[in-house]
Amino acid sequence: MTDDTVFSEPSLTAGEVEMLLFALDRSRATFAWKTGGLDAAALHRPHPPSAMTLAGLIKHLTRVEEETAAWRLFGERPTPPWDTAARGWEWQAAAADTPGELYTRWSEAVARSRAAVARVLADGGLDRPAGFVVTGDGQAPNVRRVLVDLHDEYARHVGHADLFREAIDGLTGEDPPQPA
């Protein structure tokens, strides 16, 4: 996941879209750094008292990216297996996945999500209604809300990944090292 740890700093006067996408990409890069380069034993190691694993976190955020790219932004069914998987399935199902499978699926899901975000931003921007309804009276959040929620999901789980990774091999730090 080394390539997934690179992000570009925006200008100090960046607008809302550029800053929001930067924050999301930086969180994705930090997540990739904290979960990358580990073998199956490290990825599947639980960290009591939690039953969470880094593998489960990767698979969970793969689901979140897939659902954002399809359902949250456009109201469409996500790709298999996410279209029929029960809520929470990914946490246990990750135990059967190899590091390569986990990293590849997450990277592919991020790419689909980025493409979907670019498409929706070109067609109405942050104020455009998202594709899914969240209230009984038919209201949908705007795209801004969907992207903030996606970033918040990463913020929660980057914290978990940070603690788990430090327990595994002592890796600490806020941002992944960037190329010179």
- The CATH number of residue 33's host domain is 1.20.120.450
How far is CA 147 from each of CA 16, 63, 153, rounded to the nearest angstrom? 12, 15, 10
Q: Is residue 91 in a domain?
A: yes
CA nearest to 132, candidates 88, 178, 67: 67
Q: How many domains does the chain divide into? A: 1
pLDDT for 138 equals 81
Q: Is residue 24 in a domain?
A: yes
Q: Is residue 122 in a domain?
A: yes
Q: Give the residue numbers spanning the domain of 84.
A: 2-169
Model confidence pLDDT, tens digit, residues 14-49: 999 999 999 999 999 999 999 999 999 999 999 999
Query: Do residues 23 and 32 touch, judged by C-beta distance below 8 A?
Result: no
- Residue 173: strand, helix, or coil: coil
Q: Is residue 10 in a domain?
A: yes
Q: What is the mean pLDDT of each run of 10 residues along the chain (180 residues)?
A: 78 95 96 96 95 97 96 92 92 96 96 96 94 82 96 96 96 88
Q: Is residue 162 in a domain?
A: yes
What residues form DSSP beta bridges with 129?
Answer: 142
This prediction's pTM = 0.94
pLDDT for 3 equals 64
Q: Is residue 88 in a domain?
A: yes
